[in-house]
Chains A and B, each alone.
Chain A
Amino acid sequence: MTAFTDDLLPAGTVSRAREGSAEAREAIFRAFEAPVRTLARRLVPGSAQAEDLAQDVFVDVLTSLGQYEGRGSFAGWVRAVTVRRCLMHLRSPWRRALRWARAADDADAETVLRVEPASGGDAVDLERALARLGDTARAVVWLHDVEGYTHAEIGALLGGTASFSKSQLARAHARLRELLEPEGVKTSCMPVSTNC
């Protein structure tokens, strides 16, 4: 899970930021910069886009502090803003048009922007495989398997149902396995939706 925790923030910071303290606002940015950037990069392949989105998230957070009612975790609220902002980007007309156009050129080109892995070794393979998933499958596998969202929550975020989220999770796992396993090393017969 990306490290969204209220421990990152000194007590009273959010209240001071709401009252207009520039220092408190900066403290919020510093505390959540790494988790927000990491989550954006996982949901949106293409580091430049993800960095721009991370910046958008902080603008959203710092201009909407009044909407945080203080009932739940502030870190959880920042994470929810990040997820909403990234999903909004993935569903934007621009993003869809670009993916459609590229797909016509290259049937396997599920990633339309250059991906710069943040890590080395095996993790690079996994990051690249993740980036090659379709936008929805990638979002679902990350939100469910890593961030701990339920299928019902993901379905609601994507404007679908829990069943839709489940089928996308299975699709993501099947595709990741395909991408990560070397040619000819296929494990058991494991259909996504049909029997062996």
Chain B
Amino acid sequence: MHARLHELLSLRDGEPVEAAVRAHVAGCAECAAALAGTEALRERLRALPPAPPATADGWAAVAARVAATRDRGGRTRRVAPLAAAASVAALALFAVLRWQPAPAPEPAASAPSATQARSSVEELRSRSQALEAALSALPARPAVVRAGTALPIESLEAQVQWLDHQLLLADAGEPAADAERLWHDRVEVMSSLVQLRYVEAQLNP
């Protein structure tokens, strides 16, 4: 009977191990090799290089946030219940969306009837409105934003604007299937936007 992995790790770390296990490992080439493997893996982990230098000097952003935190004083405590409520709403919406995935656009070979397309557009439009409501429920964006979340958020907001423009054109006479595709895209982009804004709100209580 070979030693178990957790027993080998205990042996490696000098923790108590049954004498029978210790004796077995001493006389078993396979277990000895596996023990050496756990040591080698630890050394490889320790030898990993540090993170590469930051692409931008982060001190200005940290200093600004520290100053803002001091100025804000007790404001965080007043905002916390709102943030918590928004969090619950966003997660609930997220779960609902998870169980009701957005329908993929129909392939060209099987064009949907106009009635089906209108029905799908209605459903997508109501989901888009629900996402707008979730977005509105989130706290206002922080005064000091971080590149990790700010850039993707701005990109998604620009995509929503572009889609809204396309939907205006679609309302002016584009085929229903095009409208369905645009609303599908809008739901996808809005969903990502709500998620990222939620992350931003979590990181800036």
Contact = CB atoms under 8 A, between A and B. Distances in A.
A126 B43 CA distance: 12
B93 to A, nearest CB: 11
A52 B37 contact: no
B5 A118 contact: no
A190 B5 contact: yes
Contact of B38 (A38, A167, A173): A173
B10 to A, nearest CB: 7
A192 interface: yes
Interface string A148-176: 00000000000000000011011001101
Contacts of A167: 6
B94 A101 contact: yes
Q: How large is the interface on A (under 10, 10 to 19, 20 to 34, 35 or more residues)?
A: 35 or more
A101 B98 contact: yes
Interface in A1-47: 1-3, 22, 25-26, 29-30, 33-35, 37-38, 41-42
Contacts of A25: 63, 66
B50 A38 contact: yes
Given A49-B148, A173-B41, A192-B5, A97 B91 contact: yes
Majority SS of interface residues in chain B? Answer: helix
Interface stretch (A66-74, A75-83, A138-146): A138-146
Contacts, number: 150
Contacts of A145: 41-42, 45-46
B52 A126 contact: no
Given A59-B62, A59-B65, A189-B30, A174 B50 contact: no
B61 interface: yes
B202 interface: yes
Interface in A91-139: 92-94, 97-98, 101, 104, 118-119, 122-123, 126-127, 130
Nearest to B53: A34
Given A48-B148, A97-B94, A190 B52 contact: no
Given A173-B38, A188-B31, A189-B2, A26 B59 contact: yes
A52 B87 CA distance: 19
Contact of B54 (A33, A56, A146): A33
Majority SS of interface residues in chain A? Answer: helix
Given A37-B54, A188-B31, A173 B66 contact: no
Given A118-B52, A177-B37, A188-B30, A63 B66 contact: yes
Nearest to B200: A52
Contacts of A177: 37, 41
B107 interface: no
A75 to B, nearest CB: 15
B48 interface: yes
A33 B56 CA distance: 12
B74 interface: no
A176 B44 CA distance: 11
Contact of A98 (B2, B6, B195): B195
B95 A97 contact: yes
Given A37-B51, A51-B54, A56-B203, A195 B2 contact: yes
Contacts of B42: 145-146
A55 B62 contact: yes
A92 B91 CA distance: 11
29 contacts: A2-B50, A29-B59, A37-B54, A42-B48, A48-B149, A51-B54, A51-B58, A52-B149, A52-B203, A63-B70, A97-B95, A118-B48, A118-B51, A118-B52, A123-B44, A123-B48, A127-B48, A142-B45, A146-B42, A146-B45, A167-B6, A169-B9, A170-B6, A173-B41, A176-B41, A190-B8, A190-B34, A191-B2, A196-B2
Which 3 pairs between the two chains have the least Cβ-Cβ distance? Answer: A188-B30, A48-B148, A170-B6
